[in-house]
Amino acid sequence: MNIEKEIGIIQERNRRVESDKCWEVSWTRKLFIAAVTYGIALWWMTSIGETSAYLKAVVPTGGYLLSTLSLPFIKRWWISKFLEK
């Protein structure tokens, strides 16, 4: 394999990895998952006869959205503890 071809393969891989990372942290993905979570929670709560199902379905959805926040101080600690040795 020549060097130009190898570099091209590496650059294509890097583009794929970058686009996957962008998708993972995108608000489009997070909001879609939140909407699906809300829909499933609402369906379950109404099917078991829960009162105020529309309001109570917000709890797991809000929990998911909170879990996607990056909490910078914890991230800095984790990086210093596990990646920077």
pTM greater than 0.85: no
Residue-number span of the structural domain to which 35 is assigned? 3-82
Sequence-separated (6 or more) residues with CB below 8 Å from residue 8? none
How far apart (Å, rounded) are the C-alpha atoms in residues 54 and 46?
8
pLDDT tens-place string over residues 9-59 = 999 999 999 999 999 889 999 999 999 999 999 999 999 999 999 999 999
Distance from the Cα of residue 50 to its chain's centroid: 29
Q: Are 65 and 34 in contact (CB under 8 A)?
A: yes
Task: State how many domains the chain has.
Answer: 1
> Can you tell me whether residue 68 is helix, strand or coil?
coil
